[in-house]
A = this chain, B = another copy of it.
Amino acid sequence: MDRRTLLKAAAVGVGVGGAAGAGAAQIFKPAPAAGGVVSASRPGTAGERTVRRLSMVTSWPKNLPGLGAAADRLAALIGQLSGGELEVRVYAAGEVVGAFDVFDAVSNGAADLYHAADYYWQGKAAAYPFFTAVPFGLSAQEQLAWIEWGGGQDLWNELSAQFNIIPMMGANTGVQMGGWFKREITGLSDVRGLKMRIPGIGGEVWRALGGAAVAMPGGEIYGALQSGLIDGAEWVGPWNDFFLGFYREAPFYYGPGFHEPGAALACGVNRKVWESLRPSDQAVLRAAAQAVTAQSVGEFHHQNAAHLDVLLTQHGVQLRRFPDDLARAAGEAANDIINDIGASDGLSRRIRDSFLGARKKLNAWSTNAEGAYYQMRASAL
């Protein structure tokens, strides 16, 4: 789910509630350059206590399950944990600033917090994708390992400090699926000329394999599959994919995807706002973000499992894995892209090297522990 995927999400509401923000945008008159549009901190009172109001701008359409819900829960939890002394108001994409303007809004103080995916900001700093997802990168658990225990958070702090932002993990989608296809893919050679809706870095990898990568909003995918404009399309996973009905036009469901093995979402806090918070409030923000991340890992796992079951048992979906030669070629293409990102500048290189060092060890453990366990259990049951 990169910028284009998100635009598509905004366009179709991922099956719930439709497009957002059109009306709400009229309530506020955003002028990000001037700052303070959503007001960084407006003291008020509730009973005897001082209430500190904070604004959280997000990249999500209103009522988006999974990611939007995580932002809503984070805001609500900050309120609860602070005993009501912090009151976070969440703004959907387009309500006060656009989905991809939330970073600038927090960076310049127009808003206090954002909830988004940090790989949206790759244009600002090449290394941002490492903190969300890169092809053949880290799973949700592995990101918790690298970011919180393997040096990732310090590097993320250093990267975002350049933009006056304190970053923290605020959700995770878990492993995303490879996509829906009209016909089976039996080897790398089948990819040549195959038109697939796959945006971002994943699309770069697809092109390197000889395929045609197409970007389009989610609301257009179903029609494009139906008319034959595209041969396949990726979206997110069983939970989110189910609602768009791709299985009716493209019954071969390939997975897992190589492009986003666990997209970590980010909550970024304006540095001055952060420094103005009491230590207990800073602890509230960090703990709430960790708690919401744990909730989100469980929710995506539960919902994806439930919806995969429905797709397989009630809709005749054919589950397939990408052929080995395709996966190997995709791995090589991904390595080139990751190396290119690291070549941008000194900090990008340090981030890439830390990431690759962590991935090497995590890969050995995950493959031999969790991966092999799932394999053993599936055979044994």
Contact = CB atoms under 8 A, between A and B. Distances in A.
B371 A370 contact: yes
A364 B302 contact: no
Contacts of A288: 287, 291
Given A258-B380, A373-B256, A80 B280 contact: yes
Contact of A379 (B140, B291, B294, B324): B324
A330 interface: yes
B145 A298 contact: yes
Interface in A98-154: 136, 139-142, 144-150
A298 B380 contact: no
A237 B364 CA distance: 14
Interface stretch (A5-13, A186-194, A207-215, A305-313): A305-313
Given A149-B303, A287-B81, A330 B373 contact: no
A150 B146 CA distance: 28
Per DSSP, chain A at the interface is: helix
A72 to B, nearest CB: 15
A46 interface: no
A364 B312 contact: yes
Contacts of A370: 139, 174-175, 256, 370-371, 374
B290 A376 contact: no
Interface of A: 77, 80-84, 136, 139-142, 144-150, 174-175, 177, 237-238, 255-256, 258, 261, 278-280, 283-284, 286-288, 290-291, 293-295, 297-299, 301-306, 308-309, 312, 319, 321-322, 324, 327-328, 330-332, 335, 358, 361-381
A327 B378 CA distance: 10
8 contacts: A81-B280, A81-B283, A139-B370, A144-B298, A258-B376, A258-B380, A286-B291, A367-B378
